[in-house]
């Protein structure tokens, strides 16, 4: 699966669980960290967990495993690293504080919802 298709699939899986303000940032020209960031919000910790688990489960079904996962203890910011695509699932106040969209403001962004 190409990185763009992976990012698109991840955004769909976040949308399936009513992810809020989903965006795909194309960071290929800005960083070597990954090709894309998928950023979204969940309203509360249970919502953040549901989004993250749906992404993990649906990609596992397709044979795509996360290289690294973190943030499941506090659920304010869950990070799922798929090497070429890094997923950031925030609660709104934490997303506002870190403002990754502004930090990576040079990256082209595609707003999903």
- Specify the pTM: 0.95
Position 4 confidence tier, pLDDT thresholds 50, 70, 90: very high
pLDDT at 113 over 90: no
Mean per-residue pLDDT, 68-87: 96
**Alpha-carbon span 19 to 94, nearest angstrom:** 15
Contact 24, 108 (CB under 8 A): no
Position 75 confidence tier, pLDDT thresholds 50, 70, 90: very high
Q: What domains lie within the chain, and their CATH numbers?
A: 3-111 (3.30.460.10)
């Amino acid at each position: 699966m190409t990185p763009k298709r992976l990012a698109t699939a991840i955004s769909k899986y976040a949308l399936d669980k009513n992810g809020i303000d989903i965006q795909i940032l194309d960071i290929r020209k800005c960083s070597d960290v990954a090709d894309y960031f998928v950023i979204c919000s969940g309203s509360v910790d249970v919502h953040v967990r549901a989004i993250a688990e749906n992404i993990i489960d649906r990609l596992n079904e397709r044979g795509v495993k996360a290289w690294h996962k973190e943030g499941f203890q506090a659920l304010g910011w869950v990070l799922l690293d798929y090497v070429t695509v890094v997923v950031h699932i925030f609660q709104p106040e934490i997303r506002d504080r870190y403002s990754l969209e502004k930090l990576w403001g040079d990256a082209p962004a595609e707003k999903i919802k």
